Amino acid sequence: VGPGDDAAVFRGRPGTAAWAVTTDMLVEGVHFDLAWTSGEDLGWKALAVNLSDLAAMGPVRPALGVIALGLPSRLPVSFVDGFYRGFDRLARVSGFVLAGGDTVRADKLTVSLAALGEVPRGRRVLTRDGARPGDVLMATGSLGDAAAGLEILQKRPKGSRASSERFLIRRLLRPVPRLDLAGRLAAVPGVTAMMDSSDGLWRSAVILARASGVGLRIEAERLPVSPALRAWCGENGRDAVDFSLAGGEDYELVLTARPSAARRIEAMKLARPVGRAHPGRGVRAMMNGRPRSVSHEFEHFSQTA
Amino acid sequence: VGPGDDAAVFRGRPGTAAWAVTTDMLVEGVHFDLAWTSGEDLGWKALAVNLSDLAAMGPVRPALGVIALGLPSRLPVSFVDGFYRGFDRLARVSGFVLAGGDTVRADKLTVSLAALGEVPRGRRVLTRDGARPGDVLMATGSLGDAAAGLEILQKRPKGSRASSERFLIRRLLRPVPRLDLAGRLAAVPGVTAMMDSSDGLWRSAVILARASGVGLRIEAERLPVSPALRAWCGENGRDAVDFSLAGGEDYELVLTARPSAARRIEAMKLARPVGRAHPGRGVRAMMNGRPRSVSHEFEHFSQTA
């Protein structure tokens, strides 16, 4: 599997183990703000976003990686110590080992991690191009939380928070890569395509539809919304559907499955149906059978070119 | 082989193929200046410095990698096109494939590549910690060229050049990773340690000495100086030994070998003796038997923390 998917998959000689490899770069002021991101948060997240790319390939076991850090001279050493603490916490529970790296000077704090995972023998990986008309579009977890967390922090970087706010902020700063779910989903026959939701469900659907050569209809009334997002939206006069449809950085999995596989996945509580693939092209969002507009206010999340 | 060497080496299950992995980050204004670095130059060099790290492990065949690019919005698309042209030129002759990547916004152009190479079955890799007292310190190619090339560009970024200047500048902008030499050197029994000279011979010697727990004496009169560096130094009243002793970015190989292996390597014209390992600690530079000071003017090269 070459460029254009969440991770590339390769093996040495035929018959040897296959590996998945991915990279992500996080830049201060673009992907994170030091006003509300601690070293621990950033270390955790740098690894989490890469492990999420590995998870998006299905049955991948995190193995090891190398990190390149661009450090401004003004950055306190304690921040870097915290970075490695946060990184190590997630690395330990994920079975990931940091094998080496490069540290250089930079004006803006820049983190670039490359992560490798092993594909267990005989397991297939899930790419973005396998969706077929009639497939059910599905998503894991809840959507829109991280975008709400960012809005909370941008309005008020510090201070005491309600528990729903703490949950939403944590979803932004400490995303949990869906490695376990990914392996279980990939083991269900009839799952046809998968990727992560780093830039939001809408962007994922656009990418999946294009890669697979199908059209996708999102049924916005079925989007999984967390109780915290629903509560916060109610208190702040916001529409939870806007967040769950287009908000990014939740690092959930977005997948397509044949209808029978989708029923099985729903029964196993691994993911929920959020739409359907059809012949044709493009992505439409519907709400109770009527066209639903997509908010563009979250496009600052979509920072990948 | 874990952190602290030019590359990390790993394998999946016992008996499967071993891989080497490395990463390097290049930041605008720190590692390169757009006043004299074209897209082609930068693409070539981004790959070259990573392949040099793989070469420093010995018998590693470049395989594939992932790239993260931080692009300022002011950067012309033609620069990025040039970057990939320069990258591809070296990739093609090296058997390297770009498998994927991440492109993000950044204030300063930032390139972070992670490169993987395969270690042929049954071949040993060369780390930095194997030097023993009595070993001969050796270097490939010529040293100090790239540092002179940088000085030429800093004084006069553009304009017509003498052929010696063109050679020195090319050594800075288009380094050639010593992959072939590395494989041949690693095949000679009695080679004990190896690394690349990215931060200059002096820094390499300090790192090798510390990792191996030996002292190293550099015999400065034996340092390999190119005819171009000698000519340019003569015309500009500079001392070629200053450049060859401490100038960085030549991306040559620095190694230690048992005396009999060193004689064989010299006879094969793979590398030249430049010093000797002894019991004890630290690195000294000697010139015709007398202590020789090391210029600190090249420390801007040593940008890795």
- On chain B, the residues whose CB falls within 8 A of the CB of A27 are 70, 104-107, 110
pLDDT tens profile A203-225: 999 999 999 999 999 999 999 99
A76-106 burial string, b = 16+ CB within 10 Å, else e?
A: eeebbebbbebbbebbeebebbbbbbbebbb
**Does B244 contact A at CB distance below 8 Å?**
no
Max distance between CA atoms of chain A, in angstroms, equals 58
Q: At residue A303, does pLDDT exceed 70?
A: no
Confidence of residue B122 (pLDDT cuts 50, 70, 90): confident
Q: What is the DSSP string of chain B?
A: --TTSSSEEEESSTTSPEEEEEEEEEEBTTTB-TTT--HHHHHHHHHHHHHHHHHTTSS-EEEEEEEEEEE-TTS-HHHHHHHHHHHHHHHHHHT-EEEEEEEEE-SS-EEEEEEEEEE-TTPPP--SS---TTPEEEE-S-SSHHHHHHHHHHH-SSS---HHHHHHHHHHHS----HHHHHHHHTSTTEEEEEE-TT-HHHHHHHHHHHHT-EEEEEGGG----HHHHHHHHHHT--HHHHHHH------EEEEE-HHHHHHHHHTTS-EEEEEEESSS-EEEEETTEE-----TTGGG--B-
pLDDT at B302: 42
Helix (H) or strand (E) holding A81: helix A77-94
Report the residue from B2, B65, B102 with minimal CB separation from A24.
B102
- Contact (CB<8Å) A99/B66: no
Q: How many CB pairs under 8 A join A and B?
A: 171
Confidence of residue A300 (pLDDT cuts 50, 70, 90): low
Listed in sequence order, the residues at least 6 apart from B171 whose beta carbon sits closer than 8 Å to its beta carbon are B145, B146, B149, B226, B250
pLDDT at B73: 94
**The pTM is what?**
0.91
pLDDT tens profile A64-76: 999 999 999 999 9
Nearest chain B residue (CA) to A304: B104
DSSP A220: G
- Contact (CB<8Å) B99/A63: no
pLDDT at B299: 63
Q: What is the DSSP string of A230-275?
A: HHHHHHHT--HHHHHHH------EEEEE-HHHHHHHHHTTS-EEEE
**Rounded to an integer, what distance in angstroms lies between the CA atom of residue A26 and that of residue B104?**
8
Helix (H) or strand (E) holding A189: none
pLDDT tens profile A243-277: 999 999 999 999 999 999 999 999 999 999 999 99
pLDDT at B300: 52
pLDDT at B10: 87
**Rounded to an integer, what distance in angstroms lies between the CA atom of residue B38 and that of residue B171?**
15
pLDDT tens profile B5-23: 888 998 877 777 789 999 9
Confidence of residue B126 (pLDDT cuts 50, 70, 90): very high
Task: Determine which of B1-15, B39-53, B240-254 has the lowest per-residue pLDDT on average.
Answer: B1-15
Q: At residue A44, does pLDDT exceed 50?
A: yes
Report the residue from A16, A17, A105 with minimal CB separation from B30.
A105
For the stretch B166-172, contacts whose Cβ atoms lie closer than 8 Å and that sit 24 or more positions apart, written own/partner, are B167/B226, B167/B228, B168/B226, B168/B228, B168/B229, B168/B232, B171/B145, B171/B146, B171/B226, B171/B250, B172/B145, B172/B146, B172/B147, B172/B249
**Does A80 contact B at CB distance below 8 Å?**
no
Task: Report the pLDDT averaged over residues A117-145.
Answer: 95
**Rounded to an integer, what distance in angstroms lies between the CA atom of residue A165 and that of residue A190?**
38
Task: Report the pLDDT averaged over residues B38-46.
Answer: 98
**Strands A215-219 and A283-287: what pairing?**
parallel
* CA–centroid distance for A213 within its chain: 22
- Contact (CB<8Å) A30/B3: no
Helix (H) or strand (E) holding A114: strand A110-119
- CA distance to partner chain B, nearest, from residue A85 (Å): 17
Helix (H) or strand (E) holding A294: none
Amino acid letter for position A289:
G
pLDDT at A79: 98
Report the residue from B21, B30, B100 with minimal CB separation from A22.
B100
Task: Report the pLDDT averaged over residues B285-300.
Answer: 86
ipTM of model over 0.90:
no
Contact A98, A65 (CB under 8 A): yes
Q: Name the average pLDDT for chain B.
A: 94
